[in-house]
Structure formats: C-alpha cells, structure tokens
Amino acid sequence: MPNIKLTQPPSTLSLPSKSPQKSTVKSGVTTSRTMSTFGRIRADIMSGKLVPDSKLKVEDLKVTYGTGLSPLREALSLLTSERLVDRIDQRGFRVAPATRLEFVDLLATRCWAEERALRLSITRAGPDWEERLLLAHHRLERLEREASKREASAGEAALNPDWEANHRAFHAALLSECGSPVLLRFCEQLYDMNIRYRQIAGVTAYPRRNIKREHKAILDAVLARDADAGVRHLAEHYQRTGLYLEKAFG
C-alpha cells in the first residue's frame, strides 16, 4: 500500500461580520440545538421507537423534540448522511427501512471489514493494546447482559445499558490498534447499524448461548497472536447473533 501523507488544507480568511461576537454566539446556540435534536432522533431510530419506513412529519417532530424548524431540518439532513433517514421528496423525510436482505449484507460487510481491522491490530499489537483489551474484557465480564427485572419494562426483558456500553468498548478495543482511522470509523458505523437491527428485532436474550465464553475465545486467540483463530471466533460470534436476527425478521 502506498504511503499517503495527508496534509491539512490551508485556512481561508474571511472578513469579520459587523457583530462577530453576537454571530458566534448565535451560531453556537444553533449548532448545539441541531446536535441535541440529531442525537435524540438518532437514539429513537436506533431503539426502534421511530419505526422503519415511517414518515417523519416536521410539524410533529417540532413538538415532540421541542425544537425549531432550522435545527430540525439540519438534524434530519445529518441523519440522511448516516442512512438512518431517507429524503422522500424536496420537503419530506422518512425513517430508513430495515429489511432482512440489508441485514444479511450488513453482516457480511461487517465480518469482512473487522477481519481486516483485527488482523492489522494483531500485527501491530503491543503491551498498551493488550492492557486496554484486558481491561475492556474485565469490565464487560463483570456485568450481566440483561437488566434487572426492576429496571426492565413490565413483562419484558431489557438490555443492561452498562453492559451495552462495555460490549461496544470491548469490540472497539479489539480493532483499536489497526492504524487506520478510516477503517475504524467504518467499523463503528457498521456496529451502530447492527445495534439498530438488534433493537428493532427485539432480541434481548439468546437461549442456549454462552456469550461470555464467545468473548473469552476471541480474547484468548488475539492475545496468543493467532489471527486466523481470532478472526474465526469473531465471525462466529457475529454469525450466531445474525441467525437470531434473521429469524426475527423472517
């Protein structure tokens, strides 16, 4: 692979406005509102609260999220770039669809991308990476995947949010030494897309499945610098989840 050096483009000069301080404050407030609205809508799409294929009516969203038209439209535009929202015409938006066919494609792409990232991480591995990985695994293994009955909705199982956060951290640590920020961002996007499918499917428990053992098998192979075994265990881990999700969408 050629050694490509990226350089930051030179900054451009612009004339100050008549009221630079006021303009800066206003711009900051608008950006803050946009990102807050973006985050809240994104969370509702990821959780399945906003149903796939449903139309996003701007007037209704303004009330639901307590925001103005401009921050709302900017937030929806940002969500289209993440493929979580589709623009259906010049003035309309809808939640992106979620289909079994897309999930199968997502799973295959995720396995392909993370195989590359994991092999690179193992090749470049050092003591610092091992320590991060061991710590991430330790924090994950101390937690239970399902929330307590008190925290879950009546009659339903629910994911423990602390487990979910530490699960993400463990998988991120596996790939973190690959040396490619672009590849890491891509893998992170695929992870988020997978979470959306998992939440929509409503899968909160996997019968006859020992997820802790699966994580330990991945960890042991990686620490032994066995890239083939690490990649195999990681792919099997994802494919087991995929089987349940495919059935849920079947």
Contact criterion met (CB below 8 Å) for 196 and 106: no
CA distance 240 to 235: 9
Contact criterion met (CB below 8 Å) for 14 and 23: no
Average pLDDT over residues 71-90: 89
Enclosing H/E stretch for 95: strand 93-95
Helices vs strands, H then E, count in the chain: 9, 3
Average pLDDT over residues 170-174: 97
Sheet holding 55-56, edge to edge: 55-56, 93-95, 85-87
Decide if pLDDT at 31 tops 60.
yes
CA distance 136 to 228: 22
* Helix residue spans in 179-226 (DSSP H): 181-201, 211-223
Mean pLDDT of the chain: 83
Contact criterion met (CB below 8 Å) for 201 and 246: no
Decide if pLDDT at 124 tops 90.
yes
Top mean-pLDDT range of 13-22, 85-94, 224-233:
224-233
The pTM of this model reads 0.76
Decide if pLDDT at 132 tops 90.
yes
Decide if pLDDT at 13 tops 70.
no
Contact criterion met (CB below 8 Å) for 104 and 194: no
What pLDDT is stored for residue 203 in this prediction? 53
Average pLDDT over residues 106-118: 96
Confidence of residue 23 (pLDDT cuts 50, 70, 90): very low
CA angle 170/172/120 to nearest 5° reads: 115
Confidence of residue 206 (pLDDT cuts 50, 70, 90): low
Confidence of residue 10 (pLDDT cuts 50, 70, 90): very low
